[in-house]
Amino acid sequence: MRYKIIFKIILLGIVFSALSCSKNNEENSIKNKEKKILMNGEIVITLDSEKAPLSAENFISYVNDGFFDGTIFHRVIPGFVVQGGGFTQEMDQKKTKDPVKNEADNGLSNVRGSVAMARTQIVDSATSQFYINLKDNVMLDHKGKDDQNYGYCVFGHITSGMEFVDKIAGVKTGNSGFHRDVPEIPVVIKSAVLGDDGKTVTFTIEQATE
């Protein structure tokens, strides 16, 4: 009888040990599964606080709040713009601050490499979303005080990393719900950091498969 009890204890020990090894192997397999980096780098934006003070201050406030960290470039149209600053990787729209006044009449143009505030058809509706011009899009410039011609406010330009912007423009896109031109593999802003000069913002971006 005593030997049967000892045998059962040993058998249970073997079973628990096997289960434990299986679990550990599964956990190690997950940990060791490295993601494949398709793109990573830095994009530096220099803000024009002189000609677009309200827009620059608004942008900096989102940077300092960590708002852009983890957001994506959710709209990519080759030969036109790449747009970001509003959605998570799950395509959930983030809650923003109040809209900023449109400063499109500041004399800055939507040329290649310029950064401007995205908005709706309402002139003063820009919040956190921005776009980077892939070419000269002067049709987006300020042409008049009426709603149709007011234009889109340029508040900065890319001073480093435009090659990564062009890479973003080349990613494969599709539809996500009601949204079009969404990268099939998210291009994520891992972090947004304001420079010591208070005039530059560095985006660290990444596109990766898990």
Q: Name 81's bridge partners.
A: 77, 133
- With tokens 């990787």, the residue in question is 89
Any idea where the domains of the chain sit in the sequence?
Answer: 1-33, 36-209
Q: Please tell me the distance from the alpha carbon of residue 103 to that of residue 116, in angstroms, as a whole number.
A: 10
Mode of pairing for the β-strands spanning 73-77 and 114-117: unpaired
Model confidence pLDDT, tens digit, residues 85-134: 999 999 999 999 999 999 999 999 999 999 999 999 999 999 999 999 99
What is the average pLDDT across 7-14? 44
The architecture of the domain spanning 36-209 is Beta Barrel (2.40)
- pTM, full prediction: 0.84
- Cα(134)–Cα(45) distance, integer angstroms: 14
